[in-house]
Structure 1
Amino acid sequence: MKQDVSSLVAQAREGRPRAVARLISLVEGASPQLREVMAALAPLTGNAYVIGLTGPPGVGKSTTTSALVGAYRRQGRRVGVLAVDPSSPFSGGALLGDRVRMSDHASDAGVYIRSMATRGHLGGLAWAAPQAIRVLDAAGCDVILVETVGVGQSEVEIAAQADTSVVLLAPGMGDGIQAAKAGILEIGDVYVVNKADRDGADATARELNHMLGLGEARRPGDWRPPIVRTVASRGEGIDEVVAALEKHKGWMDERGVLVDRRRERAAKEIEVIAVTALRERLADVHGGQRVRVLSLAERVLAGELDAYAAADEVTRALASG
Structure 2
Amino acid sequence: MHPLAQRIQQKEERALAKAITLAENNGEDKLELLKSIYPQQKGAHWIGITGSPGAGKSSLVNRLISFLRKKKMTVAVVAVDPTSPFSGGSILGDRVRMADHFTDPGVFIRSMGTRGSLGGLSRSTKETVRLMDAYGFDVILIETVGVGQSELDIMKLADSVAVVLNPGSGDVVQVFKAGIMEIADLFVVNKADMPGVPKLLAEIEAMLDLVKHDSPYRPPVVQTISTENKGLQELWESLLAHREYLEKSGEGKERKLSNLKREVMEVVQHEIYQQVWTNEQKNGFSWLADLESGTTDPYTAAEEILTKRLQPADGKQK
TM-score, with normalisation over the residues of structure 2? 0.88
SS at match of 1:30: coil
1:181 is matched with 176
2:82 is matched with 86
2:291–2:297 CA contact under 8 A, matched in 1: no
1:256-309 CA deviation, whole Å, 9 max, x = no partner? 22222222222222222111122223434654739844466479x56xx88766
SS at match of 1:31: coil
Q: 1:30 to 1:307 in 2, by over 3 A?
A: closer
Aligned residue type for 1:154: S
Aligned residue type for 1:73: R
2:31 is matched with 35
Deviation at 1:316, TM superposition (A): 1.1
Aligned residue type for 1:66: N
Deviation at 1:312, TM superposition (A): 3.5
1:85–1:148 CA contact under 8 A, matched in 2: yes
2:181–2:211 CA contact under 8 A, matched in 1: no
Deviation at 1:100, TM superposition (A): 2.5
2:138 is matched with 142
Deviation at 1:225, TM superposition (A): 0.2
Aligned residue type for 2:32: E
1:265 is matched with 259
2:213 is matched with 217
SS at match of 1:59: coil
2:309 is equivalent to residue 318 of structure 1: yes
Deviation at 1:118, TM superposition (A): 1.2
Name the count of aligned residue pairs: 309
Q: Extract unaligned runs of 5+ from structure 2.
A: 313-318
2:316 is matched with none
Distance across 1 between alignment mates of 2:292 and 2:279: 16
1:290–1:317 CA contact under 8 A, matched in 2: no
1:27–1:131 CA contact under 8 A, matched in 2: yes
Deviation at 1:193, TM superposition (A): 0.6
2:227 is equivalent to residue 238 of structure 1: no
Deviation at 1:151, TM superposition (A): 5.1
How much is the aligned-residue C-alpha RMSD, in angstroms?
A: 2.5
Deviation at 1:318, TM superposition (A): 1.6
Among candidates 7, 11, 31, match of residue 7 of structure 2: 11
Distance across 1 between alignment mates of 2:25 and 2:279: 24
SS at match of 2:270: helix
2:172–2:204 CA contact under 8 A, matched in 1: yes
1:59 is matched with 55
Distance across 2 between alignment mates of 1:265 and 1:290: 37
Distance across 1 between alignment mates of 2:297 and 2:66: 59
Q: 1:128 to 1:34 in 2, by over 3 A?
A: same
1:45–1:137 CA contact under 8 A, matched in 2: yes
Distance across 2 between alignment mates of 1:280 and 1:92: 24
1:169-205 CA deviation, whole Å, 9 max, x = no partner? 111213x321221322221000001000001112111
2:55–2:164 CA contact under 8 A, matched in 1: yes
1:45 is matched with 41
2:77–2:110 CA contact under 8 A, matched in 1: yes
Q: Between the two proteins, what is the percent identity of the paired residues?
A: 36
2:155 is matched with 159
